[in-house]
Amino acid sequence: MLKFAASYRILLRMPVRGGPPGSRRETSMRHVAAVLVVGPADPTSAAGVTADVLTIASQGAYPLSVVSEMCLRDTAQFDARIALDPELVLEQARMILEDAPVAAIKLTLPGSVDMVVALAGLVSDYGNVPLVIEAPSLILNEDDTDDSPLSAAIELLLPQAAVLVGDVAVCRRLVSSAFEGDESQLSVEDLGAALCATGADHVLLLGGAAGVQVVHVLHGSSGVVRRDVFERASVPVLGLASSVSAALAAGLAEGQGVPAAVQAALRCAHAAEGRHFRLGMGTAVPGRGTRK
């Protein structure tokens, strides 16, 4: 732990472009609940910034988006994600943050250490803005031998998160990257506690049960905050974590508390799953774009 802190401190000393955060914001636009998403460009739109934009707009908030990575994938397979230049990503993100009244930020955990360090420096300048972090299922498809981006995220990004969102399998991989012991033996409650111990205010673990129902568990620093039970989709559907985390960020941007925003986000995500359809030759995609 703390091996990425030196790079992070260097980034914190970088000047904020154009003056203090928010110095050029128009007061006439402060009523708009805007959400900035930073994440991969996913050509299927099942996840990534396009999925976030669709979900946030369906919840009545205004989406702003910055691409940090490119995904090589279709609905049947995932090949890779390729990080863009971190300086370019930071430049674009800072431009929009200084221009628009952003009320929440949603990040997808990146697959490179350099991008983790860059984004950690960015969000630290906006510590009063709620941060939602999605731990994407892409983590399970990537090289098992390189956990350094996950370790960096645990050290630098998770302590700044209002909520970390990810399914149980992904969060086990996240825990295994930085903690000793057999994470496969951890209960859902212990897994949530371990991730909250990193400094995240809340951890939302998706899909903690098998069978016809799916159980989502929200953890806080003092333990389980709430459990929500939904009917499992009739077929596998891509993008549940993307839908939940984006809708959650929209709820926080509109002033909802975390438990209420989580409940609304889960309803939104499962409604989109219920409208799933077969886009290509692989897994079904959610039907986003309308509020239920």
State the pLDDT at residue 208: 61
d(CA 266, CA 222): 22
Residue among 266, 270, 261 nearest 288 (CA): 270
Query: Is 222 inside a domain boundary?
Result: yes
Establish if 113 belongs to a structural domain.
yes
* Reported confidence tier of residue 5, pLDDT bands at 50, 70, 90: low
Q: For the segment 140-191, what is each residue's pLDDT rounded down to a tens digit?
A: 877 666 789 999 999 999 999 999 999 999 999 999 887 766 666 788 899 9
The pLDDT tens digits for 193-219 are 999 999 999 999 998 656 789 999 999
User: Is the CB of residue 89 less than 8 Å from the CB of residue 118?
Assistant: yes
Where does the pLDDT of residue 249 fall: very low under 50, low under 70, confident under 90, or very high at 90 and above? very high
Q: What is the pLDDT of residue 151?
A: 92
Mean pLDDT of 98-115: 96
Question: Would residue 132 count as lying in a domain?
Answer: yes
* Triad 188, 5, 70: Cα angle to 5°: 70
Q: For position 209, what pLDDT does the model report?
A: 55
Task: Give the model's pLDDT for residue 6.
Answer: 58
Q: Is the pLDDT of residue 20 over 90?
A: no
The two tokens of residue 163 are 């909520």
Q: Is residue 61 part of a domain?
A: yes
- Strand 213-220 to strand 223-231: parallel, antiparallel, or no bridges (unpaired)? antiparallel
Q: What band does 261 get if pLDDT is binned at 50, 70 and 90?
A: very high
- Tokens 């929500």 belong to which residue? 228
- State how many domains the chain has: 1
Confidence at residue 142, expressed as pLDDT on a 0 to 100 scale: 73
Q: State the chain's mean pLDDT as an integer.
A: 88
Instruction: Find the domain containing 69 and state its range.
Output: 34-275
* 268 domain-assigned: yes
Q: Does the residue 115 lie in any domain? A: yes
User: What's residue 181's pLDDT?
Assistant: 65
Share of the chain above pLDDT 70, in %: 85
Q: What is the DSSP letter of 237?
A: B
Inside any domain, residue 52: yes
Give residue 8's pLDDT band: very low, low, confident or very high (50, 70, 90): low
What's the confidence (pLDDT) of residue 58? 94
Helix, strand, coil share of the chain (percent; to 5): 40, 25, 35
DSSP type of residue 15: P
Q: What is the CATH number of the domain that holds 161?
A: 3.40.1190.20
Is residue 17 a part of any domain in this protein? Answer: no
